[in-house]
Amino acid sequence: MKLVYKGKFESVEQLPKGNLPPNAVKFDEPDNMEGIVKAAMKYCAAAMALGLAVLVLGLFVHGFSRLQLLESSASFFLALGAAILILVPSLFIHELLHAVCFRKNDIVELYVSLKSGTAFVTCTSPISKARFIFLSLLPNVVLGWLPLIAWVVFPIYGFWANVLWLYALMHISVGGGDYLNVTNALRQMPKGSMAQLSGINTYWFIPKEEEL
């Protein structure tokens, strides 16, 4: 994988277009950034709700005293501030984890969107359905769900324990676009199909034997 930093994202016209096969089918998804962000927000909310449910499970396991910092607004906002400071640079790690899932010789482009305060990667090389789902989920699992599960499983207390669950919940919630991609892949891609990004959209197709 070769990562190329493309700088500030301003328009979908900047995004590379893939060399799509004639039988490529576009995902049933919005054709503009605003529509995709709107659709992704629903998954952000659902992920946050699930994360909160896991958090409550951790409280039942090790006791509600783990959230004593909520008794002090100053302590809470200090922990929240620390979690945000960790979250911002980890968003780039999030994108790198997406990038490394592409194949060895694939060119992956990294963009930064100042308007939405996010970064994202794209690559027009075709990949299998399984790899597409894996690369979509990997950063959210590694940087969000695993830290939250660690908080639930281990009897962690104190200021940094609270930073951990706050960070984990925030990182889980920023993966709305990834969860949207996974849902579309599971619902729309037939067995044996390939996924390919082109512009702002994702396409799927059944490869010919010589393409396998």
pLDDT band for position 210 (cuts 50, 70, 90): very low
d(CA 80, CA 163): 7
Q: Are 127 and 194 in contact (CB under 8 A)?
A: yes
- The tens digit of pLDDT for each residue in 92-151 reads 999 999 999 999 899 999 999 877 667 899 999 999 999 999 999 999 999 999 999 999
d(CA 122, CA 15): 8
- The tens digit of pLDDT for each residue in 44-91 reads 999 999 999 999 888 888 777 766 656 667 788 899 999 999 999 999
Task: Calculate helix-pair angle for 176-188, 33-62, nearest 10 degrees.
Answer: 100
User: Which of 32-41, 77-86, 157-166 shows the highest mean pLDDT?
Assistant: 77-86
Q: Are 95 and 119 in contact (CB under 8 A)?
A: yes
Handedness of CA 84, 89, 90, 94 (dihedral sign): positive
Residues 6+ apart with CB under 8 A from 171: 87, 90, 94, 140, 143, 144, 147
Q: Which of 105, 148, 116, 109 has the alpha carbon at shortest distance from 16?
A: 109
- The tens digit of pLDDT for each residue in 192-208 reads 999 999 999 999 999 97
Q: What is the mean pLDDT of residues 15-29?
A: 94
pLDDT at 70: 60
pLDDT at 68: 64
pLDDT band for position 178 (cuts 50, 70, 90): very high
